[in-house]
Amino acid sequence: MIENTCLGCQLANGQVQAHVVYENEWLTCFLDIAPLNEGHVLLLPKRHVAELEDMEEATSAAMLKAVMKMSRVLKIRYQPDGVTILQNGGTFNDLGHVHVHVFPRYKGDGFGWVEPEDRNDNRNRLAETKLDLVNIINNLRD
């Protein structure tokens, strides 16, 4: 289902111009208009979905295949030091539509992961965290 007010839906379905590099029946891949590095690609499902875990199985399988394809393409074209694959959900999803970033990375490119200074509390709770998560996983319905 396409939501006319959703920019992600509009982009994925060709209602808003984008520099499309790959498309199939489930998703569209196009260049980010504010790339972190040249070749920065966004992958968006054509059907509206706000959260990754709500994506239907066929679309999620197509998304993973496209992520792998874009990663290979970027490695061939740019010979980067690596490739970053990133998806933000909830409050951090600024588009309100699932999208995955795939972009080439280079040593010293300025993009980084900033870790909290003190992570010892989390490290000391690994056994308890494991039990909590395993319990939830065992109670989930697929």
pLDDT at 3 over 80: no
Question: Over the stretch 49-99, which tens digit does the pLDDT of each residue have?
Answer: 999 999 999 999 999 999 999 999 999 999 999 999 999 999 999 999 999
Task: For residue 60, give the 3-state DSSP assignment.
Answer: helix
Position 2 confidence tier, pLDDT thresholds 50, 70, 90: low
Which ranges of 1-142 would DSSP assign to H, the alpha helix?
7-12, 57-78, 120-124, 126-139
Position 126 confidence tier, pLDDT thresholds 50, 70, 90: confident
**What gap in Å lies between CA 101 and CA 9, rounded to an integer?**
16
Domains of the chain: 7-114 (3.30.428.10)
- Residue with structure tokens 């870790």? 115
* Torsion angle (degrees, nearest 10) of CA 109, 115, 55, 65: 40
Average pLDDT over residues 103-123: 84
To 5 degrees, how large is the angle CA 12–CA 82–CA 115?
A: 90
Sheet with 100-105: strands ordered across: 20-23, 27-31, 41-45, 100-105, 82-86
More confident position, 2 or 25? 25
CA distances (Å), origin 85, targets 35, 94, 108, 115, 138: 13, 17, 18, 18, 28
More confident position, 35 or 118? 35
pLDDT at 23 over 80: yes
